[in-house]
Every structure is written in structure tokens, then in C-alpha cells.
């Protein structure tokens, strides 16, 4: 009697154990379906600008599809695992075609420039830590975006090491600042508008050694304003003589259609490396949207993401080899 009861109990429990992997299978299949659809849409950003928003999350789709494929293999759902691997492959292909700046050895570079770009965040109240970080970098030139709060204090804290200081705050909706150890020959502002992002630029050197540094802060996608600003900036870059360095907050990942098209139009290459910068307070789900782009004659010696300094962005520091 006891034996038959135990047998009956074990029989009733078997459907429960079988039910769990079945639910997991359906959940994973739905996840793969969603990832596949988002991945597919990300490749149509050149036809519909709003769809380019999906492309910014290709690294996340890549990781998620890899995890889904492994779990599907474990539960022996081979067909769905194949689909997950195809989604993984699609995102890998989307991340692959990057036209990056060439690299140079620090030992052989004859003329280098240490540059920091940092969106310090309009709501950042820890200006002392911002100044401390910037002084730690000992950069030759610093460009800042969202330069709104406590600007007089920041100027004062940096004045001894960076005597050359300029910003575009006198122009409405312009939030850029530039600090330099060495003097520039000329500075200017590209006034922001419906098709122009806020931009501050400075020219350094003379003759064949001259170069232009511009800092920019683009609007957020998927608005058409973002696209128009990229197109306008590409035209402006094309009008500048000599070597150009463009640094700032692009609000776009390097592999997106928006950035790929912009680089081709402007004739610039991005400093290589994967450096997630936003949102700075999250450990995961960060996007690399702060960049340094350079003309073909300039190469990259090193590049790194800076430490947290009170902003919702992380800074980017690069060392460039100038011709």
C-alpha cells in the first residue's frame, strides 16, 4: 500500500518537472524572436532614420543572443539555438565594419597631443572632482560639453595649468568649453541651430604643422535634428584646411548608420577601441557615444575611458600622433 502511494506521488510530480523546461523553452524562443526582429530592423537605419536607434544596442543584442543560444543548446532546442546563433552572427557583422584611425607607437611618435573630452553634465554639482580629474590627466587640451554650472569656479581651478581658456556660453544653447596649456592662433564658434550642433573650435600651429580641434555636442537620436546636425558638421569639416580633430558627445555609437555615414561624409576616422561612456552610473548597458575623430594624417597612440567624476558620462582621454 505504501509502495503504490509513493509511486502515485512520483507520477504526479513528473509533469511539473517537465513543465519547467517547456516554459523556459518558450521564453527563450520569444527572446530570440525579439532579438532577431530588433537586429533585422537595425540594418534599415539608412532607409528610416528612427530604425537606426536599434543599431546602438548591437553589443547588448550580441551578448543576449549568445546567452540564449547556450541555454537552448543545454535544453536541446537545436532549431531555436541555430536561430539565436544567426542573430549573434548578424550583430557581429554589424559591429565589424569600422573605419578606425591608424595606430602609432609612443616610442616612435615625434609629435603627440594628449586630449581629453568630457561631457561634465549640466546637473553635476561636484565641480571640485571634475577639476581634480582633469588635472590628474595632465592633458595638453581639454574640451568639455554641457558646460553650464559653476563655470567660473572650474576656470579658476584650472587656470594655473591651463591659462588659455575659451567657451561659447555667450551664444544661446552653446555649452562647449576648451582649455589649453599652449596658445592657439584662432578660435571660433559654429552657432547652434536647427541643423547645426553647438560647436567650439580652435586652430593650433602654423603652416604644415597646423591643425584644428573642434568640440561638438549633438542632439539625441532618433530625431531628424540629429541627422541634420551630422550632415551640417560633415560639410563644415570638409571646409576646414589641414588636419582636423573632432571630439565630443555624438549621442551615437560608432557602428550605427548615423556615425558610419558621418565619418564617410566628413572624411574622418574614429580613434579605435570600445569605451562605453553613458550612462556612467550603470555597470552594464552602457553605450560608447563620446568619441574622438581625426583626419587621415593623424594616428592614435593610446585611448582610454576616464574615471567617474560626478557626470552621467565618463570622459575619454586619447594620445594622438600628429604629422
* pLDDT digit string, tens, across residues 169-204: 889 889 999 999 999 999 999 988 778 899 999 999
Which residues span the domain enclosing 196? 112-321
Tell me what pLDDT residue 15 has: 53
Domain count, the chain: 2
How many other β-carbons are positioned within 10 Å of the β-carbon of residue 174? Answer: 20
Neighbours of 183 (CB within 10 A): 9
- Rounded Cα distance, 289 and 279, in Å: 10
Task: Indicate if 141 and 216 belong to the same structural domain.
Answer: yes
Q: What size, in residues, is the chain?
A: 323
Q: Is residue 286 part of a domain?
A: yes
Q: Decide if 106 is inside a domain.
A: no
Q: In whole numbers, what is the pLDDT of the chain averaged over residues? A: 91
pLDDT interval class at 281 (50, 70, 90): confident
Quote the CA–CA distance of 73 and 310 in Å, as a whole number. Answer: 43
* The pLDDT of residue 8 is above 50: no
- Where do we find the cell 567617474? 308
Span 75-120, pLDDT tens digits:
999 999 999 999 999 999 999 867 677 777 776 778 999 999 999 9
Q: State the maximum Cα–Cα separation within the chain, in Å, rounded to a whole number.
A: 101
Average pLDDT over every residue of 250-263: 95
Q: Please give the residue that has the higher pLDDT: either 170 or 143.
A: 143
Q: Give the model's pLDDT for residue 109.
A: 78
262 with 162, same domain: the answer is yes
Q: What is the CATH number of the domain that holds 239?
A: 3.60.10.10
Co-location of 316 and 181 in the same domain: yes
Amino acid at each position: 500500500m505504501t509502495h503504490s502511494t509513493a509511486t502515485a506521488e512520483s507520477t504526479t510530480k513528473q509533469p511539473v518537472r517537465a513543465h519547467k523546461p517547456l516554459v523556459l523553452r518558450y521564453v527563450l524562443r520569444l527572446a530570440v524572436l525579439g532579438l532577431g526582429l530588433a537586429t533585422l530592423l537595425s540594418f534599415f537605419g539608412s532607409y528610416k532614420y528612427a530604425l537606426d536607434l536599434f543599431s546602438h544596442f548591437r553589443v547588448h543584442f550580441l551578448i543576449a543572443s549568445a546567452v540564449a543560444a547556450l541555454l537552448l543548446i543545454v535544453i536541446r532546442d537545436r532549431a531555436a539555438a541555430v536561430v539565436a546563433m544567426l542573430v549573434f552572427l548578424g550583430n557581429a557583422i554589424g559591429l565589424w565594419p569600422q573605419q578606425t584611425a591608424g595606430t602609432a607607437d609612443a616610442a616612435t611618435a615625434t609629435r603627440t597631443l594628449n586630449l581629453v573630452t568630457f561631457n561634465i553634465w549640466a546637473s553635476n554639482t561636484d565641480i571640485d572632482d571634475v577639476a581634480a580629474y582633469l588635472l590628474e590627466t595632465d592633458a595638453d587640451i581639454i574640451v568639455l560639453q554641457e558646460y553650464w554650472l559653476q563655470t567660473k569656479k572650474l576656470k579658476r581651478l584650472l587656470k594655473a595649468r591651463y591659462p588659455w581658456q575659451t567657451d561659447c556660453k555667450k551664444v544661446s544653447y552653446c555649452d562647449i568649453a576648451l582649455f589649453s596649456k599652449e596658445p592657439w592662433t584662432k578660435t571660433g564658434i559654429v552657432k547652434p541651430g536647427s541643423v547645426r550642433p553647438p560647436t567650439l573650435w580652435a586652430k593650433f600651429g602654423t603652416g604644415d604643422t597646423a591643425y584644428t580641434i573642434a568640440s561638438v555636442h549633438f542632439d539625441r537620436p532618433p530625431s531628424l535634428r540629429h541627422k541634420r546636425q551630422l550632415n551640417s558638421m560633415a560639410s563644415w569639416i570638409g571646409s576646414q584646411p589641414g588636419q582636423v580633430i573632432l571630439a565630443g558627445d555624438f549621442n551615437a555609437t560608432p557602428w550605427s548608420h548615423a556615425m558610419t555615414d558621418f565619418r564617410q561624409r566628413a572624411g574622418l576616422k574614429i580613434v579605435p577601441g570600445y569605451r562605453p561612456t553613458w550612462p556612467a552610473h550603470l555597470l552594464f548597458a552602457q553605450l560608447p557615444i563620446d568619441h574622438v575623430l581625426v583626419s587621415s594624417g593623424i594616428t592614435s597612440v593610446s585611448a582610454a575611458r576616464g574615471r567617474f567624476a560626478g557626470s552621467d558620462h565618463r570622459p575619454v582621454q586619447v594620445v594622438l600622433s600628429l604629422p
